[in-house]
């Protein structure tokens, strides 16, 4: 049977040999030490075993991306650590739905995302997670690089290792990849297939791999946050079986215990309408067609009603009529209050003087929706924000197929197409592929194998997508009875992570 060579896509390999090729070898690792600045600012010396890169599927399409690395702490500040049963932090570094690779990683937190225009992909090696501060509140996500409120880099893999967790960093294919025939092989659903295959690899090796595979906690930011939420929502769904089988993924469960999602760019087929509902009044760097904003905002009204969601804390129905107030009451004002109460008297006075839209008295913030969106200012994206009429946006590329780089995902943009695709159907299998990429699909189906613990975060100035996207995700999970911890970081932009220490405490408590 071994005569066919490696990586063949026929079925000559038996299940046993494929599975055997996916057995984790616990004896092959490098001993590393690193000094990590914790979220609280302390310095910890961590000794750890570094495994990999390991290809996590038997029939890889591109091992550069379909590989993972594992870091297992053995001592922290000279005290030995037994991580055999520790939670596993499964930290994807996807940004922009681009490919992410750990093929060149030689230590924790080095995973590389392919940047969208020169981002801050994390190449921090040993010694520190406290990279130089930057002045803005914006960070190119991915590469596991995020900014905290002080403008310091946050590396979830490094911080998690310093907490004694096992850290798995998976690579995954992304939308830009083409093969020698010009075929796009990293477009949807490739990235989620790969992350699921990586989880299956861990579970297949549950008795060989350090860490508790029943306590996998996924993390990711932006597109990576979307994939993290999707991984959580879609556990063991049969919607991915064909693709997983084709890759020779381990025959094991891909459920995870918990998902952390920072600014998830998800619910893509409803993101254009949601965007106009949220940021439709905001200026853009060029002219926005008011008719498009109006059309899409009207679609949101219908969509939001169809979700039939309730707001938290007894707020009542979440509709287009109530949603601005919901965001104000449950997210934006509490977020502003937390921020303002943490400032010194002088800084608070300065802030309030510079931001007269906000009234702050007796620890309570008051402002209007109009005041808030005016404060946020220029929106990040055109209209439509995701499915461009000219197929020019990243999400068009995400749904490319074959040699076609980009396709439409909404009927509205298809109908307004300017590229000459009129009359052609939406991308083949669009509904299936959209469902494969959308956690909301699995939540609507009440997938019983979903993660039931959720950490959802985003900045209030993040106009990469509508604030309703994460909020609907949270509300729909709460409606199923899941544990949802969701808040927004005041005045922070896309890719921020203001409370990594709280997240790690939360992970400790999940164990």
Residues engaged in binding ligand DHB (CB under 6 A) = 95-97, 141, 222-223, 265, 394-395, 464
Q: Which residue's CB is nearer to ligand DHB, number 19 or number 116?
A: 116
Instruction: State how far Cα 349 lies from the chain centre.
Output: 36
Q: Which residue's CB is nearer to ligand DHB, number 95 or number 186?
A: 95
Q: Which residue's CB is nearer to ligand DHB, number 160 or number 388?
A: 388
Q: Which residue's CB is nearer to ligand DHB, number 267 or number 401?
A: 267
Q: Smallest distance, Å, CB 495 to ligand DHB?
A: 6
Q: How far is Cα 18 from Cα 101, in angstroms, rounded to an integer?
A: 23
Q: Smallest distance, Å, CB 241 to ligand DHB?
A: 27
Report CA-CA distances (Å) from 500 to 18, 64, 163, 455: 38, 29, 11, 11
Report CA-CA distances (Å) from 388 to 64, 185, 384: 31, 22, 6
Q: How far is Cα 271 from Cα 410, in angstroms, rounded to an integer?
A: 10
DSSP E strand stretches across 234-363: 258-262, 310-311, 316-317, 359-361
Q: Smallest distance, Å, CB 165 to ligand DHB?
A: 24
Instruction: State how far Cα 68 lies from the chain centre.
Output: 17
Instruction: Give the residue from 243, 304, 232, 316 showing the smallest Cα distance to 57.
Output: 243
Q: Smallest distance, Å, CB 381 to ligand DHB?
A: 7
Q: Smallest distance, Å, CB 222 to ligand DHB?
A: 3
Q: Smallest distance, Å, CB 447 to ligand DHB?
A: 24
The first and second tokens of residue 119, run together, are 């981002």
Q: Which residue's CB is nearer to ligand DHB, number 464 or number 499?
A: 464
Q: How far is Cα 323 from Cα 334, in angstroms, rounded to an integer?
A: 16
Q: Which residue's CB is nearer to ligand DHB, number 233 or number 358?
A: 233
Q: Smallest distance, Å, CB 97 to ligand DHB?
A: 6
Q: How far is Cα 368 from Cα 389, in angstroms, rounded to an integer?
A: 33
Q: Smallest distance, Å, CB 385 to ligand DHB?
A: 8
Q: How far is Cα 349 from Cα 309, in angstroms, rounded to an integer?
A: 38
Q: What is the 3-state secondary structure (H, E, C) of 378-414?
A: CCCCCCCCCCCCCCCCHHHHHCCECCECCCCCCHHHH
Q: Which residue's CB is nearer to ligand DHB, number 13 or number 95?
A: 95
Report CA-CA distances (Å) from 315 to 327, 450, 482: 11, 26, 18
Closest chain position to ligand DHB (CB): 222
Q: Which residue's CB is nearer to ligand DHB, number 167 or number 265?
A: 265
Kind of pairing between the strands at 310-311 and 316-317: antiparallel
Q: Which residue's CB is nearer to ligand DHB, number 117 or number 420?
A: 117
Q: Which residue's CB is nearer to ligand DHB, number 96 or number 232?
A: 96
Q: Smallest distance, Å, CB 98 to ligand DHB?
A: 8
End-to-end Cα separation, the chain, in angstroms:
43
Q: Smallest distance, Å, CB 96 to ligand DHB?
A: 4
Q: Which residue's CB is nearer to ligand DHB, number 97 or number 184?
A: 97
Report CA-CA distances (Å) from 149 to 39, 391, 491, 492: 11, 35, 9, 7
Q: Smallest distance, Å, CB 397 to ligand DHB?
A: 10
Contact 112, 100 (CB under 8 A): yes
Instruction: Give the residue from 455, 456, 461 showing the smallest Cα distance to 332.
Output: 461
């Amino acid at each position: 049977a071994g005569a066919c060579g490696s990586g063949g896509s026929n079925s000559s390999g038996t299940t046993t040999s494929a599975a055997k090729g996916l057995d984790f070898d616990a004896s092959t690792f490098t001993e590393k030490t690193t000094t990590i600045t914790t979220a609280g600012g302390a310095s910890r010396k961590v000794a750890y075993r570094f495994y990999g890169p390991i290809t996590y599927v038997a029939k890889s399409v591109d091992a550069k991306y379909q590989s993972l690395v594992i870091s297992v702490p053995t001592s922290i500040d000279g005290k030995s650590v037994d991580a055999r049963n520790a939670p596993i932090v499964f930290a994807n570094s996807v940004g922009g739905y681009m490919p992410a690779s750990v093929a060149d990683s030689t230590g924790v937190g080095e995973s590389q995302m392919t940047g969208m225009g020169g981002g801050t992909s994390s190449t921090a090696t040993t010694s520190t997670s406290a990279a130089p501060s930057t002045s803005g509140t914006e960070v190119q996500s991915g590469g596991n690089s995020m900014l905290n409120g002080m403008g310091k880099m946050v590396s979830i893999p490094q911080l998690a290792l310093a907490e004694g967790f096992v850290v798995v960093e998976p690579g995954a294919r992304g939308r830009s990849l083409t093969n020698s025939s010009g075929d796009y092989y990293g477009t949807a659903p490739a990235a989620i297939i790969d992350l699921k295959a990586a989880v299956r690899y861990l579970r297949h090796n549950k008795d060989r791999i350090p860490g508790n595979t029943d306590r996998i906690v996924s993390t990711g930011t932006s597109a990576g946050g979307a994939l993290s939420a999707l991984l959580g929502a879609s556990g063991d769904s049969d919607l991915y079986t064909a693709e997983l089988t084709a890759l020779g993924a381990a025959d094991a469960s891909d459920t995870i215990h918990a998902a952390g999602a920072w600014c998830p760019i998800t619910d893509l087929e409803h993101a254009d309408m949601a965007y106009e509902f949220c940021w439709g009044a905001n200026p853009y760097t060029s002219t926005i067609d008011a008719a498009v904003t109006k059309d899409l905002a009207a679609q949101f009204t219908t969509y939001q009603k169809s979700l039939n969601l309730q707001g938290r804390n007894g707020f009542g129905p979440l509709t287009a009529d109530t949603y601005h107030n919901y965001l104000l009451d449950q997210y934006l004002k509490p977020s502003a209050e937390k921020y303002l109460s943490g400032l010194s008297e002088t800084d608070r006075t300065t802030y309030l003087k510079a931001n007269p839209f906000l009234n702050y008295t007796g620890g309570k913030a008051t402002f209007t929706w109009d005041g808030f969106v005016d404060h946020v200012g220029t929106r990040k994206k055109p209209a439509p924000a995701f499915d461009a009429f000219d197929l020019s946006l990243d999400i068009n590329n995400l749904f490319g197929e074959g040699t076609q780089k980009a396709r439409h995902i909404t009927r509205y943009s298809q109908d307004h197409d300017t590229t000459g695709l009129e009359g052609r159907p939406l991308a083949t299998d669009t509904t299936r592929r959209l469902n494969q990429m959308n956690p909301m699909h699995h939540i609507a189906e009440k997938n019983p194998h979903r993660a039931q613990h959720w950490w959802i975060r985003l900045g209030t100035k993040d106009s990469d997508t509508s604030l309703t996207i994460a909020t609907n995700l949270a509300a729909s999970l709460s409606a199923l009875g899941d544990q949802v911890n969701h808040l927004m970081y005041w005045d922070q932009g896309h890719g921020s992570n203001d409370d990594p220490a709280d997240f790690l405490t939360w992970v400790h408590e999940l164990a």
